[in-house]
Amino acid sequence: MSLWSEISKACQLLSQGDVVALPTETVYGLAGNVFSEAAIKKIFAVKDRPSFDPLIVHISSFEEVSKLAQKWGQAEAVLAKAFWPGPLTIVTPKTQQVNPLITAGLESVGIRMPAHPVFRRILRELKTPLAAPSANKFGRTSPTAATHVKSEFSNSVFVVDGGDCQVGIESTVVAVHETAQSVEVKILRPGMIAHSHLKRALEDAHLKKLIRVSNVEASPLAPGHTDTHYQPAIPLIIAHRTPSQETATQIEKKFSFPSLSRYSELNLNPDPRLAARDLYSEMRRLSTSGIKWMFVRKSNDRSGEVWESIWNRLDRAASMRID
Ligand code: TXA
Ligand code: MG
Atom of ligand 1 minimally distant from the CA of 106: 29
For residue 87, the ligand 1 atom closest to its alpha carbon is: 1
CB atoms within 10 A of CB 106: 17
Q: Is the CB of 25 under 6 A from ligand 1?
A: no
Which pLDDT belongs to residue 225? 57
**Quick one: pLDDT band at residue 178, thresholds 50, 70, 90?**
very high
Q: Are 299 and 240 contacting, i.e. CB atoms less than 8 angstroms apart?
A: yes
Distance of CA 89 from the midpoint of ligand 1 (Å): 8
pLDDT on residue 229: 80
Average pLDDT over residues 47-53: 93
- Of 113, 121, 116, 128, nearest to 40 (Cα)? 128
Cut 0.85: pTM above it? yes
Q: How confident is the model at residue 119 (pLDDT cuts 50, 70, 90)?
A: very high
Residue 219 pLDDT more than 60? no
Dist CA 146 CA 159 (whole Å): 6
User: Quick count: other Cβ atoms within 10 Å of Cβ 147?
Assistant: 14
pLDDT tens per residue, range 282-295: 999 999 999 999 99
Quick one: pLDDT at residue 235? 97
- Residue 155, pLDDT score: 85
The residue whose CB lies within 8 Å of the most ligand 1 atoms, and thus the one to mutate among 48, 173, 312, is: 173
Cα-to-centroid distance, 34 and ligand 1 (Å)? 14
Contact of 173 with 91, CB cutoff 8 Å = yes
Taking the C-alpha atoms of residue 76 and residue 143, their distance in angstroms, rounded to an integer, is 29
Q: 230: pLDDT confidence band, cut at 50, 70 and 90?
A: confident
pLDDT at 307: 98
Q: Which whole number is the average pLDDT over 130-156?
A: 95
Q: What is the pLDDT of residue 6?
A: 98
Pocket probe mutation, ligand 1, options 44, 89, 149, 174, max atoms within 8 Å of Cβ: 89
The predicted-structure confidence for 265-314, as pLDDT tens digits, reads as follows 999 999 999 999 999 999 999 999 999 999 999 999 999 999 999 999 99
Percentage with pLDDT > 70 across the chain: 96
Q: What is the pLDDT of residue 132?
A: 98
pLDDT in tens, 2-36: 999 999 999 999 999 999 999 999 999 999 999 99
Average pLDDT, whole number, for the chain? 95
